């Protein structure tokens, strides 16, 4: 005999997409591992779909602060998100002028969401703890002031290449160099990255001369309180170069 069970009532609940966030690994361009996203003051946990998008549904706020915790491998990120669309997503909601942003520092980027279907794109920068492949051309090092103390928040870049990174609280940095075969020359039995000595404009992606007669890339380190320094650095191609910088400002 078959047991009969009374039908159950299923409640249908509609949800509204407030906004979506897409995180990418700044080195690989893929989905990052270990990064988490949260917003404040709205108490809403994101739904992560199969494509890796973080979806924030039913956000009961005009504006929120979005925080990305990059864990050990990525630099944390912070954004101000203004919801400028109504519940139907037709763009008829709030405007920038209606949002109080006095509690947010000026260096926090603001995203105004008029179409919730267009995700907020955030590229995460690897930290010195990031597991770069062993064959990656990287420049790692430490920035200190004239007293020998670590300098946090200094920007570090090779003038002829992207990207730009910032030093950690310990003054450390890890800068990967997107050098191609055109940028590699043989010098004293070693493969090094060189740029065209004729290109004096500081343009990214300088080209190495075929006979290796090029110049070393220029390392630029800058901090608002400690000044700037520039110096050529011999960068080993396909491996790690360690370099220490002292800011005298």
- pLDDT tens for 86-95 read 655 444 454 4
The encoded tokens of residue 21 equal 């966030």
Is 101 a residue whose pLDDT tops 50?
A: no
State how beta strands 155-158 and 218-223 pair. Answer: antiparallel
What is the percentage of the chain residues whose pLDDT exceeds 70? Answer: 79
For the stretch 144-199, pLDDT in tens is 999 999 999 999 999 999 889 999 999 999 999 999 888 899 889 999 999 886 54
- The CA R_g of the chain, rounded to the nearest whole Å, is 24
71 within 8 A of 25, measured Cβ to Cβ: no
What pLDDT, on the 0 to 100 scale, is given for residue 233? 96
Residues 6+ positions from 139 with CB-CB distance below 8 Å: 158, 174, 175, 177, 219, 233, 235, 240, 241, 242, 243
**Confidence grade of residue 2 (pLDDT, cut at 50, 70, 90):** low
Average pLDDT over residues 123-142: 96
* Size (the chain), residues: 249
pLDDT given at position 110: 95
- Tell me whether the CATH fold assigned to 17-124 matches the one assigned to 138-247: yes
What DSSP string runs through 160-183?
TS--EEE--TTSEEEEE----GGG
- How are beta strands 120-124 and 235-236 bridged, if at all? unpaired
Residues 195-248: pLDDT tens digits?
886 544 444 444 444 444 678 999 999 999 999 999 999 999 999 999 999 998
Mapped onto helix, strand or coil, the DSSP state of residue 96 is: helix
CA-CA distance, 107 to 147, in Å (whole number)?
A: 28
Which residues are bridge partners to 192 per DSSP? Answer: 185, 236
Q: What is the pLDDT of residue 96?
A: 44
Spatial separation of the C-alpha atoms in residues 225 and 87, rounded to whole Å: 45
Kindly report the CATH class assigned to 138-247: mainly beta
Residue 97: is its pLDDT beyond 60? Answer: no
Give the pTM. 0.80
**For residues 175 and 125, what is the distance between their CA atoms, to the nearest angstrom?**
10
| Residue 219 φ/ψ, nearest 5 degrees | -85, 130
Paired tokens of 202: 């500081």
**What CATH number should be reported for the domain whose range is 17-124?**
2.60.40
What is the pairing mode between strands 120-124 and 110-113? unpaired
Please report which confidence band the pLDDT of residue 14 belongs to, taking 50, 70 and 90 as the band edges: confident
Residue spans of the domains in the chain: they are 17-124, 138-247
How high is the pLDDT of residue 70? 97
């Amino acid at each position: 005999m078959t047991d009969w069970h009374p039908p159950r009532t299923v409640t249908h609940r509609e949800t509204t997409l407030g906004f979506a966030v897409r995180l990418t690994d700044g080195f690989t361009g893929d989905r990052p591992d270990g990064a988490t996203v949260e917003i404040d003051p709205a108490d809403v946990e994101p739904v992560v779909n199969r494509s890796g998008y973080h979806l924030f549904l039913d956000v009961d706020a005009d504006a929120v602060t979005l925080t990305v915790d990059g864990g050990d491998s990525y630099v944390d990120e912070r954004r101000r998100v203004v919801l400028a669309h109504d519940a139907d997503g037709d763009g008829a909601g709030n405007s920038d002028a209606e949002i109080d942003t006095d509690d947010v520092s000026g260096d926090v980027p603001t995203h105004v969401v008029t179409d919730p279907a267009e995700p907020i794109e955030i590229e995460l920068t690897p930290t010195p703890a990031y597991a770069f492949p062993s064959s990656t051309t990287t420049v790692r090092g430490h920035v200190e002031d004239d007293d020998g103390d670590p300098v946090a928040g200094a920007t570090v870049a090779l003038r002829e290449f992207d990207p730009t990174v910032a030093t950690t609280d310990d003054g450390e940095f890890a800068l990967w160099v997107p050098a191609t075969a055109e940028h590699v020359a043989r010098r004293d039995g070693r493969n090094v990255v060189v740029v065209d000595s004729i290109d004096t404009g500081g343009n990214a992606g300088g080209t190495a001369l075929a006979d290796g007669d090029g110049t070393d890339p220029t390392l630029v380190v800058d901090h608002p309180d400690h000044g700037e320094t520039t110096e050529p650095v011999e960068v080993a191609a396909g491996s790690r170069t360690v370099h220490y910088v002292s800011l005298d400002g």
